Amino acid sequence: MGETGRRRLGRMVAGSLAAALGAGGCAAVSPGRGARPLVSHGVVTLSFSPWTAGGTWTATVQRLLASGIAPFEAANRGLRVRLVPPPGGCCNPAALTAALVAGTAPDIVLNNNIGGYASGGYLLPLTTYLRRDNIDLRLWSPAQIASFRDWNNRDLLALPTYYNTTAYLVNLTVMDQLGMGYPDPAWTSGDFARLARSLSGTQGGGRRFGCNLWFSESQAWGVDWIFRAFGGRKVLHGGAACGLSEAASVAAGDWLYHEFLWPQVGTTKAASGGALAQFASGRTVLSVQQAGGLLATVTQLAGTTMKWDIAPFPVFPAGRACFGGDQYYAISALTRHPDQAWELLRWLSAETSWQLSVMRIFLMAPALLSLWPQWIRLIQALAPPLRHKNVQWFGHAAMHGYAYPTSYFRYVDASAEAILQGAFTALGQRRTTVRQAFVAAARQVDALERSNAGAAAPGLRSLRSSERRARTRVKRMFAVASARP
């Protein structure tokens, strides 16, 4: 299928999406499970920053989001919701921190970095509300919920926005050409490595990689899943220590570098030209795919003659593991209406109405595990080429709890991440061994964390009392935030 086919699929997807968003598309969504009126004296207006595709904030997007929030206002006559763009755009922790300190943040905030807010009183703890309303945390992935707790593991500070899980795209055309059998869904990390070696070679005068991995040598962020796959951890002890020197983490590093990166059997997610472009051109045979970008991927692949499908991440020594997003909604600690803000947050994340609405607007994968079958049906309906693909593996990663969000260091996350990035850079240049690099990096991170452990992390009140201290805190906690995808 050439450019004409690509345009045809684009028109088809756009037409299907327009039909889904037409009259009754969003407004007809039911108010959700257990929605109940909240008694209020007078009208209370809550400000809320929703997630938007690519950070877009247009009149059309606002209109569609407003139609999605209408059932909440209908069920809670004393409450109104004012939709506002996230400070600094979607998932900008430095901008959100500045807004929280200044008292200008929305009542319900959006982000994807809980590390800087896990202490200091930035976000309203939710445990009391969760217990009062008997909210079952099994509504969501345990791996995602675990990433939203405070450093002492006593309080939950946020609830999921959605769950951006990952699976593998598989180029079946190349496998047919090489006479290879297709991946078995129960394949192991050993099977995966052997297949990637067999698929690696040359193509059209250039290098063909057997696979890419959700890993970037320039960023330590997002690599937690690879260590968990072998039973290790990047971050230990409430965020105050590094686990890379442990045997399981070293084993993960050995697998990554010895099997893939050093022999050039595999490449990274930051590969030249982008992972999807490399897959579409046949330069990478097994390619990591996010649930959130699946429709865009299908549109791009429509211009190729490739036969392809979707496979799960393999079974590692510690079980399945893959990357998962850590986007969340939380309540600003400075909200003037905490009880009403909780009602909105509960409705957004624990009930179905809002999530069904944004699924239809943005095709956003749900936070609620119960909605994954509906997401799969929806995205297959909007993109007919997906109807016979194994899209269910994205939901499998969420429902079986093996999509692991990023974890953060407690005191000086930005500096700790820079140390790890230095270790990955040295390994990429083959200037050291995995064990030497990991042990040295862990020692440096541990020393850095210990040196900052004596002083309590400044709380929100103390930050507000001094603009200079506030700026320093923002710089320390989120110096590398803008580099994170």
Neighbouring C-beta atoms of residue 167, cutoff 10 Å: 24
Residue 440 clears pLDDT 50, i.e. is over it? yes
Of 180-194, 228-242, 459-473, least confident by mean pLDDT is 459-473
Class of domain 166-323: alpha beta
What is the rounded average pLDDT of the residues 456-466?
Answer: 62
pLDDT digits (tens, 9 = 90+) for 247-289: 999 999 999 999 999 999 998 866 656 788 889 988 999 999 9
Structure tokens at 5: 């086919």
pLDDT at 10: 40
Domains 12-163+325-367 and 166-323 share a fold: yes
- Average pLDDT, whole number, for the chain? 85
| DSSP output for 398-416 | HHTT-EEPP---SS-HHHH
pLDDT at 272: 55
Residue 28 clears pLDDT 50, i.e. is over it? no
CATH number of 12-163+325-367: 3.40.190.10
Q: What is the pTM of this model?
A: 0.86
What is the rounded average pLDDT of the residues 327-335?
Answer: 95
31 band by pLDDT with thresholds 50, 70 and 90: very low
CA 184 from chain center: how many Å? Answer: 26
d(CA 315, CA 321): 7
Length of the chain measured in residues: 485
* Bigger pLDDT: 274 vs 64: 64
d(CA 6, CA 127): 49
CA 117 from chain center: how many Å? Answer: 17
pLDDT at 136: 97
- Catalogue the long-range contacts made by 384-390 (C-beta closer than 8 Å, 24 or more residues apart): 384/12, 385/9, 385/298, 385/301, 385/302, 386/294, 386/298, 389/308, 389/309, 389/310, 390/185, 390/309, 390/310, 390/311
pLDDT at 98: 87
pLDDT at 252: 97
8 Å CB contact between 182 and 172 = yes
As a whole-number percent, the residues of the chain with pLDDT over 90 amount to 62
1 band by pLDDT with thresholds 50, 70 and 90: very low
pLDDT digits (tens, 9 = 90+) for 86-132: 988 888 888 888 898 888 999 999 998 888 888 778 999 999 999 99
Domain boundaries, the chain: 12-163+325-367, 166-323
Specify the DSSP class assigned to residue 143. H
pLDDT at 94: 83
Residue 33 clears pLDDT 60, i.e. is over it? no
Signed CA dihedral, 198, 204, 207, 212: sign only: negative
pLDDT digits (tens, 9 = 90+) for 182-223: 999 999 999 999 999 999 998 877 889 999 998 877 777 788
pLDDT digits (tens, 9 = 90+) for 136-175: 999 999 999 999 999 888 899 999 999 999 999 999 999 9
What is the rounded average pLDDT of the residues 391-395?
Answer: 97
